[in-house]
Structure 1
Amino acid sequence: MKYIAIIDDQKFVVAVTDEGIMTVSVDDKQCEIDFQHVPDTRLYSLLLNGKSYDLDIDHDEDTFNVMLDGIRYEVEVQDERTRRLATLRGSIGGSIGEILIKAPMPGVVVEVPVKVGQQVSQDETVIILESMKMQNEFKSPKDGLVSSVRVSEGDAIDQKTIMVTIS
């Protein structure tokens, strides 16, 4: 599984190859690291290029606060799937005109919390889709009016199916 770690606007690609063994890419240079959790603590051991580091890591959802050598780093972590969904959401369209919210992958509609004619606010959830045993919330990219809802709860849909239209 690949992850993107963002620290102070710098992006690092992290690929987990085996349990605890990871490959980190920085500016197309790869290095292998050994990263182990100390059970029942927030402490981790990191072995990088033959040097050992002790880390204190606290996290809240996708943000990790990492203490290393007395310096605190805030690290945002996204997996490939989450990053791809965010990119797809970003390509839904601008805030002018009609917005078509399409399924980025096949799935089952779990919930449609909006109705035709309903006013929605930017970032309000308009549909919840389950795919690969994970639920994905799709939010309105702008304030607007729900002009059509083309799916119902329980529907199995294909990739690129138009689910909701907002005008």
Structure 2
Amino acid sequence: MDIPREAIRSLVLKYGVVTLRGFKQDDDFETATERWGDVLQWPKGTFAAGNIFDIKTEAGTKLPAQTLEAMSFHYDGMFKKKTPESTELGDPPVFMFFHCVEANPPEDDPKHGNTIITDTRRLLSALPEATVERLQKISLTYRTSLFEYQDRVHTSPVVITHPMTGEL
């Protein structure tokens, strides 16, 4: 993937979401993501291998991401630590990459699923100011028994300031 990093970064900062098409399914995608910074390493022995979390339906799994069940509101990487030594959980990732190998089945198929990705800056700008102010006062609490975070609680504000643009 020989795409100028700064050009893509500018588009992401402007639009929030950028779709790139035409990649093959191989290590080129993983290598390309490494150009953007440190890639979250999923803990060994979990549902992922290194940098890649292969989202697919698995019989008998306890992981919502690998079932046909609805998932709670979340962002990927929300249970990562601030540093490998830290007991404090980290901040939302600056960039997330998704590689779709096989598109979702049609909506009338029982195996249909969606990944919803939103530029929340646009969402917040469309809301009344009073609603945004109310959302800024709310935090969500998450728990997981995954990884080494047994019963760790993570509290995150619903609205945060963008780390690079300063926007809500």
* Shorter-chain TM band: under 0.3
Q: Kindly indicate which of the two structures has a greater share of residues assigned to helix.
A: 2
Per the normalisation by structure 2, the TM-score is: 0.21
| Bigger radius of gyration among the two | 1
